[in-house]
Amino acid sequence: MPLTYLKRAGAHIAEAGHIDARATVADMLAEIKLGGEAAVRDYAVRLDRWEGEIVVSRDQMAQSEQYVPTDLRDAMKYAYENIRRFAEAQKASLNEFEIELRPGLTAGQRAIPLDAAGCYVPGGRYSHIASALMSITTARVAGVHNVTACSPPRPGAGIPAPILYAMWLAGADRALALGGVQAVAAMAEGHFGAGKADILVGPGNQYVAEAKRQLFGEVGIDMFAGPTDVLVLADATADPELVAWDLVSQAEHGGNSPVWLVTDERSMAEAVMALVPRCLETLPQLNRAAATTAWDERGEIVLCADREEMAGCADAYAPEHLHVQAADLEWWQDRLRSYGSLFLGAQTCVSFGDKAAGPNHVLPTDRAARYTGGLSVHKFLKTVTWQRVTGEAVPDLVQATSTISRYEGMEGHAISAELRRGISPYQEKRASVG
């Protein structure tokens, strides 16, 4: 049956904005490619309003500790330990192996860390301390040799001390006081002694996301990222106040952040709809403005017939964050298929995952969870294969390979295989001529 929408999102996506971003980013990347570090510095002055030193050394990062309150340092260390331990468990789940497929035919798999990574740490409306911990720690656990981090400097002050301390704690080799497209380009090009990045990771605004998209291929990226989103699945057992705040907390990210509630309980939906405006009024002014726009323009409440229809709706939305506040959590965990990260139970709020729980918060948006997961140790590892053939396997391999090759019309492949059995194409040609 058709879904019932008690609240629908407005017509909020302006394609022209995306076109403008593409053109602007393309021009900036071209100018930086041509002008190098001088062009990057020029953009830093114009866009970041920063004329100070670009490079922050590891020793300088360490000095930021004295400017970070003790309670914040302790919280960051707690989060770092969770992130590191989870990343280490992820790495352990990817095993290298060797297998003898047939006598004389051995193959295997290796996991090789990338040489260099560039981690972007947003610093616009909010200081994204957790993003520094998430991306840099994960790269380090993977074994990446050279990790550069970038974050927008504040005019006259540089990168905020808590972000610098997070970068140091997580293990960055250096920080670059740069934001936006110029930061992404500098890491991709290897400016300021960073070395060219093999992969660019981390969230950012539409210009950062577009720069990563345009550079993909020249370098690897974690994913094409859009605005953050959340979908809450709630049944009659859920607390409407918790649900309302969980929606508002994610709407706080920005006015373009979708927030969705899917439920089979009308009274739950109506209670949440009444509570959200009260929650919004509680926020500080700037946060309230962003969250109110997100709720008004991107918020949706969907009423379903039963939990199976709720699960189907969630899979269709493929949210970045999927929070289940319903009975029988094991059923939901087994049934749900498309999400960036799953949060099971009323006590498992998305904010925990955003800041300190351990699993990475850099996650797929814009329904990309249909085909990919989030940032992980595996993104920083090349899973490569190898093979070795000895005498006993050669005859059958030659026969199979040459047969398939000739049916495909690839004579060179067949000859290359047959030479391994001493079958020379030149001898055959001479014999046929004679």
Q: What does the pLDDT read at residue 11?
A: 56
Query: Is residue 154 classed exposed, middle or buried when 0-12, 13-18 and 19+ CB atoms within 10 A define those classes?
Result: middle
Question: Which phi and psi angles does 268 have, rounded to 5°?
Answer: -60, -45
Neighbouring C-beta atoms of residue 142, cutoff 10 Å: 24
Mean pLDDT calculated for residue range 107-115: 97
pLDDT, tens digit, 9 for 90 and up, residues 212-242: 999 999 999 999 888 999 999 999 999 999 9
Q: What does the pLDDT read at residue 431?
A: 43
Least confident span in 39-43, 121-125, 407-411: 121-125
* Model confidence band, residue 428 (pLDDT cutoffs 50, 70, 90): low
The token pair at 90 is 């992820």
Amino acid found at 123: G
Distance from chain centroid for Cα 357: 17
| Catalytic residue chosen out of the listed positions 189, 210, 320, 418 | 320
Tell which residue, 6, 1, 70, 78, has the closest CA to residue 303: 6
Q: What does the pLDDT read at residue 226?
A: 85
Q: Are 274 and 314 in contact (CB under 8 A)?
A: no
| Catalytic residue chosen out of the listed positions 191, 253, 321, 361 | 321
Cα–Cα distance for residue pair 211/29, rounded to 1 Å = 8
* Model confidence band, residue 253 (pLDDT cutoffs 50, 70, 90): very high
Q: How far is CA 268 from CA 243, 280, 315, 346, 429, in A?
A: 9, 18, 21, 14, 82
Instruction: Tell me the CATH number for domain 227-373.
Output: 3.40.50.1980
What are the extents of the domains in the chain?
15-222+378-383, 227-373, 390-433
Tell which residue, 9, 11, 6, 1, has the closest CA to residue 234: 6
The token pair at 394 is 């050669």
Whether 320 is catalytic is yes
**pTM of the predicted protein model:** 0.92
Q: What does the pLDDT read at residue 224?
A: 86
Q: What percent of the chain has pLDDT over 90?
A: 90
The answer to whether residue 16 scores a pLDDT higher than 50 is: no
Does the structural domain 15-222+378-383 have CATH classification 3.40.50.1980?
yes
Amino acid found at 38: A
Question: Which phi and psi angles does 252 have, rounded to 5°?
Answer: -60, -20
Would you say the CATH fold of 227-373 matches that of 15-222+378-383?
yes
pLDDT, tens digit, 9 for 90 and up, residues 189-198: 999 999 999 9
* Model confidence band, residue 1 (pLDDT cutoffs 50, 70, 90): low
Mean pLDDT calculated for residue range 37-63: 96
The token pair at 237 is 């057992």
The answer to whether residue 82 scores a pLDDT higher than 70 is: yes
Q: Are 115 and 96 in contact (CB under 8 A)?
A: no
Enumerate the β-bridge partners of residue 112: 382
Neighbouring C-beta atoms of residue 89, cutoff 10 Å: 12
The answer to whether residue 433 scores a pLDDT higher than 50 is: no
* Model confidence band, residue 17 (pLDDT cutoffs 50, 70, 90): very low
The answer to whether residue 208 scores a pLDDT higher than 90 is: yes
Cα–Cα distance for residue pair 168/295, rounded to 1 Å = 36
| Neighbour-count burial for 410-430, b at 16+ CB within 10 Å, e otherwise | eeeebbebbeeeeeeeeeeee
The answer to whether residue 285 scores a pLDDT higher than 80 is: yes
In the predicted model, what is the mean pLDDT of the chain?
Answer: 94
pLDDT, tens digit, 9 for 90 and up, residues 404-417: 999 999 999 999 99
Query: Is residue 297 classed exposed, middle or buried when 0-12, 13-18 and 19+ CB atoms within 10 A define those classes?
Result: middle
Q: Are 33 and 321 in contact (CB under 8 A)?
A: no
8-state DSSP, 47: I
Q: What does the pLDDT read at residue 234?
A: 98
Q: What does the pLDDT read at residue 140?
A: 98
* Model confidence band, residue 81 (pLDDT cutoffs 50, 70, 90): very high
Whether 321 is catalytic is yes
Tell which residue, 183, 310, 206, has the closest CA to residue 257: 206
| Neighbour-count burial for 248-264, b at 16+ CB within 10 Å, e otherwise | bbbbbbbbbbbbbbbbb
8-state DSSP, 35: H
Least confident span in 44-48, 173-177, 315-319, 423-427: 423-427
